[in-house]
Amino acid sequence: MDLGAITKYSALHAKPNGLILQYGTAGFRTKAEHLDHVMFRMGLLAVLRSKQTKSTIGVMVTASHNPEEDNGVKLVDPLGEMLAPSWEEHATYLANAEEQDMQRVLIDISEKEAVNLQQDAFVVIGRDTRPSSEKLSQSVIDGVTVLGGQFHDYGLLTTPQLHYMVYCRNTGGRYGKATIEGYYQKLSKAFVELTKQASCSGDEYRSLKVDCANGIGALKLREMEHYFSQGLSVQLFNDGSKGKLNHLCGADFVKSHQKPPQGMEIKSNERCCSFDGDADRIVYYYHDADGHFHLIDGDKIATLISSFLKELLVEIGESLNIGVVQTAYANGSSTRYLEEVMKVPVYCTKTGVKHLHHKAQEFDIGVYFEANGHGTALFSTAVEMKIKQSAEQLEDKKRKAAKMLENIIDLFNQAAGDAISDMLVIEAILALKGLTVQQWDALYTDLPNRQLKVQVADRRVISTTNAERQAVTPPGLQEAINDLVKKYKLSRAFVRPSGTEDVVRVYAEADSQESADHLAHEVSLAVFQLAGGIGERPQPGF
Ligand code: NG1
Ligand code: ZN
């Protein structure tokens, strides 16, 4: 370690006085102007992690669905996974170190993690389309270079594409080629082969409207479009040519406001979807003949996918264990449908994809989705081998199912939830099953629900258990929630501190929208009173 150089360059990326940031669920996230030093330091940390794991590490510069003025950074571990927990702590420690302590902190982390400083390091970098992202990714590169790391800057990428690159590079090319063409080719080939098997691929299945949140998804879909145009034609909206990133559009907006994005004209029964700002989330929706808006969220996506996978397994005659992983935000109807109708086991984890991803790895086939549309399906290596064998050996009908499954395995991003990959899987399933968007929606009816935010002085006073479904502290809060929930039918409510914003989130569902709204409001008041609310008391109405 050239300690002199580190001190010198670190001063060029100086930390603003008094600023303290935390590596949260999605890395560091705040106003872009506060992040230069964090980027430089994450470049340094990525080099140490790369040396320790003797693998390529990824650094993604994005703030996903957050406003255009924000930015963020997260590290991607060797198999495309989120950073290991102990390293999240090092990230927070390093990001908050005072200038004069930088050398000591770096040595400290290296010693704690037994990093061999002689080892080579390789870091790959990607960024979204925010105006601040290019300069910030340059600061990451400065950090990587000062510690003697090699790097490849992919420039503009969706978050899941960067995860894909990291995964490819660390699996000796077996998973795919670590280039943008490699990504397009792998996914498109699987998609085109799959849809060729669809007996009904009329116009209805061939066209899809996509709201790209004015983000990176637009650029990448446009590049990719001609690779899969045989199977699907996409019409892009909010492609960044005029509107602001994530403003009144994108998956997060559509999901949380339960209404269509601006800038997209929707005719009745047209299939539409929205990506978020870094294209790792997707939700679908349509307007029915009466002009009512219908949202098809991550839960219904998981249901469509897991049902289809289960059908294929039955056809092949394989009894592999398949599980669906959700969070407390999953609509109660989805959980009931999966367990009672589909007979698929469902598990609940804490919010944050790393928890879901981890749990999903326990199954032969693990399908995980957050209600907000972030998710994928994971296939164990054993399953992949079995399916490949079946595709060669089985008789006709079974072979066809095995071939489909083989293509689906290729189509799912095994490294992260991916809006583009999920979109292609969904489109293929709908075409193969001959399902319209309304038929898909009709699998079950969502319970009306409401999500709210409450400002409190310190959101850490709220601690939870049972996958965030129950509050342990502050005293009396869970009892208050229990009493409120009892007043409504088919009701459920929980609260938790956000991992990405300085707020407490409140979720409620009930038999009618009015009840869900009331319950959410009453729970907000309980949080405000018992957990140190600040500012104005929560008001009813939305
Ligand atoms: P927080 O802010 O911890 O609720 C949000 C989403 C998560 C996840 C992360 C990371 C909800 C309720 N929460 O986390 O699901 O996507 O952002 O982006 O949607
Ligand atoms: Zn995102």
**Spacing, Cα 281 to ligand 2 middle (Å):** 6
CA separation for the pair 398, 408 (Å, rounded): 15
State mean pLDDT over 51-76.
Answer: 98
What is the model's pLDDT at position 205?
Answer: 64
Q: How confident is the model at residue 202 (pLDDT cuts 50, 70, 90)?
A: low
Q: How confident is the model at residue 542 (pLDDT cuts 50, 70, 90)?
A: low
Q: For ligand 1, say whether the CB of 498 is within 6 Å of any of its atoms.
A: yes
Q: In what order do the strands lie in the sheet with 122-127?
A: 28-31, 70-76, 56-61, 122-127, 150-156
Q: For ligand 1, say whether the CB of 326 is within 6 Å of any of its atoms.
A: no
What is the model's pLDDT at position 190?
Answer: 97
State mean pLDDT over 434-453.
Answer: 96
Ligand 1 atom nearest residue 499's Cα: 3
Task: Look up residue 524 and give its two tokens.
Answer: 């907000």
Q: For ligand 1, say whether the CB of 64 is within 6 Å of any of its atoms.
A: yes
CA separation for the pair 162, 226 (Å, rounded): 21
Residue type at 44 in one-letter notation: L
Q: Which candidate in 64, 274, 333, 524 is catalytic? A: 64
Residue type at 16 in one-letter notation: P
At the top level of CATH, which class does the domain 296-414+432-440 belong to?
Answer: alpha beta
What is the model's pLDDT at position 449?
Answer: 96
Ligand 1 atom nearest residue 256's Cα: 19
Q: For ligand 1, say whether the CB of 161 is within 6 Å of any of its atoms.
A: no
Q: Please tell me if the domain spanning 181-294 has the same topology as the one spanning 296-414+432-440.
A: yes
Query: Is the full-model pTM beyond 0.85?
Result: yes
Contact in structure between 325 and 362 (CB atoms under 8 Å): no
Q: For ligand 1, say whether the CB of 25 is within 6 Å of any of its atoms.
A: yes
pLDDT tens for 398-415 read 888 899 999 999 999 999
pLDDT tens for 149-186 read 999 999 999 999 999 999 999 999 999 999 999 999 99
Of the ligands numbered here, which is closest to the C-alpha atom of 368? Answer: 1
Between residues 470 and 320, the one the model is more confident about: 470
Q: For ligand 1, say whether the CB of 286 is within 6 Å of any of its atoms.
A: no
Mean pLDDT computed over every residue of the chain: 95
Ligand 1 atom nearest residue 327's Cα: 15
Nearest residue (CA) to ligand 1, atom 3: 499
Nearest residue (CA) to ligand 1, atom 7: 352
CA distances from 218 to 178, 238, 243 (A): 21, 8, 12
Annotated binding site: 64, 276, 278, 280, 370-372, 496-500, 505
Main-chain phi, psi angles of 453, to 5 degrees: -120, 145
**Spacing, Cα 418 to ligand 2 middle (Å):** 9
**Spacing, Cα 317 to ligand 2 middle (Å):** 37
pLDDT at 480 over 70: yes
Contact in structure between 334 and 300 (CB atoms under 8 Å): yes
CA separation for the pair 432, 13 (Å, rounded): 53
Q: For ligand 1, say whether the CB of 369 is within 6 Å of any of its atoms.
A: no
Nearest residue (CA) to ligand 1, atom 9: 352
Q: Quick one: CA dihedral 274, 184, 222, 291, positive or negative?
A: negative
Q: For ligand 1, say whether the CB of 372 is within 6 Å of any of its atoms.
A: yes
pLDDT tens for 359-402 read 999 999 999 999 999 999 999 998 988 888 887 876 777 888 89
Ligand 1 atom nearest residue 25's Cα: 10
pLDDT tens for 204-222 read 668 999 999 999 999 999 9
Best residue for ligand 1 mutational test, from 30, 71, 372, 454 (most atoms within 8 Å of Cβ): 372
**Spacing, Cα 371 to ligand 1 middle (Å):** 10
pLDDT tens for 314-366 read 998 888 899 999 999 999 999 999 999 999 999 999 999 999 999 999 999 99
Annotated binding site for substrate: 370-372, 496-500, 505
Annotated binding site for Mg(2+): 64, 276, 278, 280
Residue 22, SS3?
A: coil
pLDDT at 272 over 70: yes
Within 10 Å of residue 274's Cβ, how many Cβ atoms?
30
Ligand 1 atom nearest residue 329's Cα: 12
CA separation for the pair 326, 387 (Å, rounded): 26
Classified by CATH at the fold level, domain 1-155 comes out as Alpha-D-Glucose-1,6-Bisphosphate; Chain A, domain 3 (3.40.120)
Nearest residue (CA) to ligand 1, atom 8: 352
CA distances from 376 to 5, 221, 278, 302, 380 (A): 42, 18, 16, 8, 13
Question: CATH 3.30.310.50: does it fit domain 447-529?
Answer: yes
Of the ligands numbered here, which is closest to the C-alpha atom of 504? Answer: 1
The torsion defined by the Cα of 263, 265, 269 and 270, in degrees rounded to 10, comes to: -70
At the top level of CATH, which class does the domain 181-294 belong to?
Answer: alpha beta
pLDDT at 201 over 60: no
Element (H, E) at 257: helix 251-257
Where are the domains positioned within the chain? 1-155, 181-294, 296-414+432-440, 447-529
What is the model's pLDDT at position 200?
Answer: 62
Of the ligands numbered here, which is closest to the C-alpha atom of 330? Answer: 1
CA distances from 53 to 44, 48, 288, 396, 532 (A): 15, 9, 52, 45, 43
First to last CA, the chain: 55
State mean pLDDT over 23-37.
Answer: 95
Task: Look up residue 130 and give its two tokens.
Answer: 């925010």
Q: For ligand 1, say whether the CB of 329 is within 6 Å of any of its atoms.
A: yes
Strand 449-454 to strand 375-379: parallel, antiparallel, or no bridges (unpaired)?
unpaired
Is-catalytic flag, 64?
Answer: yes
Strand 272-275 to strand 282-287: parallel, antiparallel, or no bridges (unpaired)?
antiparallel
pLDDT > 90: percent of the chain: 89
Q: For ligand 1, say whether the CB of 505 is within 6 Å of any of its atoms.
A: yes
CA separation for the pair 147, 6 (Å, rounded): 7
